[in-house]
Amino acid sequence: MLNLKKILSVKSIVNELVVTFLRFPFAIITSIAATLIVFHTIDLDYAQLEKNQFWYNIIQTLYIGISFFIATALLLEKLGIKGIKNILIKNGVGTLLLAYYFFLPEIYHLKSFINAFILAIVFHLLISFIPFYRKGQMNGFWQFNKSLFLRFFFGGIYSAVLYLGLALAIAAVQHLFTISVDEDLYFKLWIFIVSVFNTWFFLAGVPSDFNKLDEDNSYPKGLKIFTQYILLTIVSVYFIILYMYMFKIIVQGEWPVGWVSNLVLGFSIAGIFSLLLIYPVISKKESLITNLFSKLYFWAIIPLIVMLFMAIWIRIGEYGITENRYFVLILAIWLTGITIFMLFNKMRNIKVIPISLAIISFLSLYGPWSAFNVSLNSQMSRFENILEKNNLLENGKYKKSDHVIPFEENKSICSIVNYIVENHGCEIFQPLFDENLDSLLASESRYNAGNIIIVDKMGLKYIGEWQEESYENEYFYLNATDLNHTNSIIKIDTYDYFLKYEQAYNYNDSLSQNLAEYIVDDQKIQISFDEKNLTLSVKVNDSLGISLPIKENIKSLKTKQISNQLTFSDMMLISENEKIKLVFCINNMNGNIEKQDVIKVNNFDAQLFLKIK
């Protein structure tokens, strides 16, 4: 029976916190440091983060470090290494993390996130088996992971309840006492609970006597009910659905659709997870249902694995390899290996599951066979083949087309550019152009990515992922490429006011904040943008006014951009009357040219200079 008095004792809680900290000091300090860095980045605006992307790399390194330090501490405990040697080894881990940080690219791409995510999986898997890396102690290995699973499960529940309670308390104080609270406080609270509280709580429940675990034969009744009557039922339902779909393919002679691979993988991994949870029941042969499931499961998934490989092969054949398809493929290979091993091993060695998954995951990140190198080479090969087919390559350099290329091939080019820019960066395309892409992309805004700029530079129409040939809209993106150069300097002593003005598309199918109002020097300045007539209007003190139609400017700028870069002076639109002079300096603008010459602006970022005469 739980000793409630002990649980609620402040002294007991503090003692447990201290003991846990002394056992995992590096991991806890790292989690606190990561939380503080995240707090700092929350306080930064988007522009500051874009200029200082090293913050992303620091956060990524610290969060990887948490699980790395935990795994290291467990290994040192297993080996009985203490004192100075223990500290030196942990400092060595810190040095490895520092080296990892310095090898990260300066510009944060999706590739960096994927790398961090897979490394986190590797180190979490390492935690699961590192105290039991030697042969034997299969029951101790299972009991250890049972404790980790339950601690993780209840940690998630406690974290959610704690956050909900504290968030409601803050909201109550805010409204009852009319106290102003920063909206970011709620997000910061969640980050603190997940990163610090949950980590500390989890570590407090990590078993320390590894040898004693092998003698523990307990099996929680709640876990038994959850696994046998809930998890196995769900897995069985998915099993029936997938087999019905497989029979449909056979009867109708259809190839499997791409997303079925994710469903098969999800089902297979859930099934393996279920088998791991009921391992003690299987070894003792206590339940007819679990025994039957363990004997039939790996035989039953063989046809599904065949269907999985078919689905992957079709997608790769049509669109080449990407990181997602690469990881699906190696998981399919891993699943095949585990299935063959378990059919012969009869579930006697379950350690091989996390160990093999950790090894294959780590190998997928580095070397010429890595997900990133294989995917990039595959997509660049597709890209160059399309360019050569349409005579767009000459001596390894891009050559603008003198004819309109087929819609589907234009769309494929846009799709490949999207993928490479998002995952690997714009610099991959530099060898194709004589011009320095860094200067071309210098003015990239938060609304537009380099993929659109590169496609425009190629003189091709940008085609979205879901756009069909019958779709008559044409996307446009205008940007000044020399914003960081001296010729973009404006002398402001001839103007009275300078304003930053931007508009963003919202979910109501219109531009947000169409009317902006400012009070300065007893002057009321109102700025509005008529998205239907594409007219910028400025009023001063409700009487003086001036308008600037920009529809024809958009057309001419788009035409000019096909053959030349747009300069800051190109993007500077001027309107003047006897009372007001208005200069509208566009940094960037995007939208669609629809049928019947209708132009729809989605976003723009600009500055206004006003002179009241």
Q: pLDDT averaged over the chain?
A: 85
CA distance 289 to 282: 10
Query: Is pLDDT above 70 for 486?
Result: no
Q: Are strands 523-530 and 535-540 parallel, antiparallel or unpaired?
A: antiparallel
Residue 232 region by backbone torsions, left for phi larger than 0, else alpha for psi between -120 and 50, else beta: alpha
Please indicate, yes or no, if residue 24 is contained in any of the structural domains. yes
User: Where does residue 298 rank: exposed (0-12), middle (13-18), buried (19+ CB within 10 A)?
Assistant: buried
Residues in the chain: 613
Q: Check whether residue 42 and residue 181 sit in a common domain.
A: yes
Q: Which of 167, 155, 145, 151 is nearest to 195 (CA)?
A: 155
CB-CB contact of 224 with 281 (8 Å): yes
Please indicate, yes or no, if residue 479 is contained in any of the structural domains. no
Q: Check whether residue 176 and residue 232 sit in a common domain.
A: no
Query: Is pLDDT above 50 for 447?
Result: no
Please indicate, yes or no, if residue 298 is contained in any of the structural domains. yes
- Fill in the DSSP letter of residue 426: G
Q: Which residues, 6+ apart, have CB-to-CB distance to 297 below 8 Å?
A: 271, 275
Q: Which domain holds residue 502?
A: 486-612
Q: Check whether residue 54 and residue 163 sit in a common domain.
A: yes
3-state secondary structure of 575: strand
CB-CB contact of 525 with 610 (8 Å): yes
Lowest-pLDDT range of 51-65, 417-431, 435-449? 435-449
Phi, psi of 349 (to 5 degrees): -120, 95
| Banded pLDDT at 114 (limits 50, 70, 90) | very high
Residue that terminates a domain, selected from 306, 333, 363: 363
Name the residue with higher pLDDT: 471 or 446: 471
3-state secondary structure of 508: coil
Please indicate, yes or no, if residue 5 is contained in any of the structural domains. no
| Banded pLDDT at 70 (limits 50, 70, 90) | very high
Query: Is pLDDT above 70 for 485?
Result: no
Q: Check whether residue 200 and residue 263 sit in a common domain.
A: no
What tokens were used for 590? 């995007």
Query: Is pLDDT above 50 for 436?
Result: yes
Residue that terminates a domain, selected from 163, 187, 216: 216
CB-CB contact of 53 with 107 (8 Å): yes
Percent of the chain whose predicted confidence (pLDDT) is above 70: 88
Please indicate, yes or no, if residue 295 is contained in any of the structural domains. yes
For 531-556, how does the pLDDT look when each residue is reduced to its tens digit (9 = 90+)?
888 888 888 887 778 888 988 888 88
Please indicate, yes or no, if residue 481 is contained in any of the structural domains. no
Q: Check whether residue 165 and residue 250 sit in a common domain.
A: no
- Say what the pTM is: 0.76
Query: Is pLDDT above 50 for 446?
Result: no
Q: Check whether residue 467 and residue 532 sit in a common domain.
A: no
Amino acid at 509: D
For 208-244, how does the pLDDT look when each residue is reduced to its tens digit (9 = 90+)?
888 888 888 888 888 888 888 888 888 888 889 888 9
Please indicate, yes or no, if residue 8 is contained in any of the structural domains. no
Please indicate, yes or no, if residue 6 is contained in any of the structural domains. no
Q: Compute the average pLDDT of residues 85-91.
A: 93
Number of independent structural domains in the chain:
4
CA distance 78 to 85: 14
CA distance 215 to 206: 17
Q: Check whether residue 435 and residue 340 sit in a common domain.
A: no
Q: Check whether residue 245 and residue 311 sit in a common domain.
A: yes
CA distance 105 to 114: 13
CA distance 515 to 495: 22
Q: Check whether residue 383 and residue 328 sit in a common domain.
A: no
Output the CA–CA distances (angstroms, integers) from residue 104 to 56, 85, 96, 225, in the order listed.
Answer: 10, 29, 13, 45
For 135-187, how does the pLDDT look when each residue is reduced to its tens digit (9 = 90+)?
888 989 999 999 999 999 999 999 999 999 999 999 999 888 888 888 889 99
Rounded to 5°, angle at Cα 361 from 360 and 364: 85
**Within its chain, how far is the Cα of 308 from the centroid?**
25
Output the CA–CA distances (angstroms, integers) from residue 122 to 112, 128, 369, 407, in the order listed.
Answer: 15, 10, 18, 42
| Banded pLDDT at 505 (limits 50, 70, 90) | low
For 261-310, how does the pLDDT look when each residue is reduced to its tens digit (9 = 90+)?
888 888 888 889 888 888 888 777 667 777 788 888 899 999 999 989 98
For 555-594, how does the pLDDT look when each residue is reduced to its tens digit (9 = 90+)?
888 777 655 567 778 888 998 888 888 899 888 888 888 7
Q: Check whether residue 554 and residue 608 sit in a common domain.
A: yes
- Fill in the DSSP letter of residue 425: -
Please state, as a whole number, how many other Cβ atoms lie within 10 Å of the Cβ of residue 129. Answer: 20
Q: Are strands 544-549 and 572-576 parallel, antiparallel or unpaired?
A: unpaired
Q: Which of 362, 352, 304 is nearest to 330 (CA)?
A: 362
Q: Which residues, 6+ apart, have CB-to-CB distance to 274 below 8 Å?
A: 227, 231, 232, 235, 293
Query: Is pLDDT above 70 for 121?
Result: yes
Q: Check whether residue 147 and residue 269 sit in a common domain.
A: no
Q: Check whether residue 198 and residue 232 sit in a common domain.
A: no
Residue that terminates a domain, selected from 330, 363, 396: 363
Q: Compute the average pLDDT of residues 56-67.
A: 95
Phi, psi of 536 (to 5 degrees): -95, 130
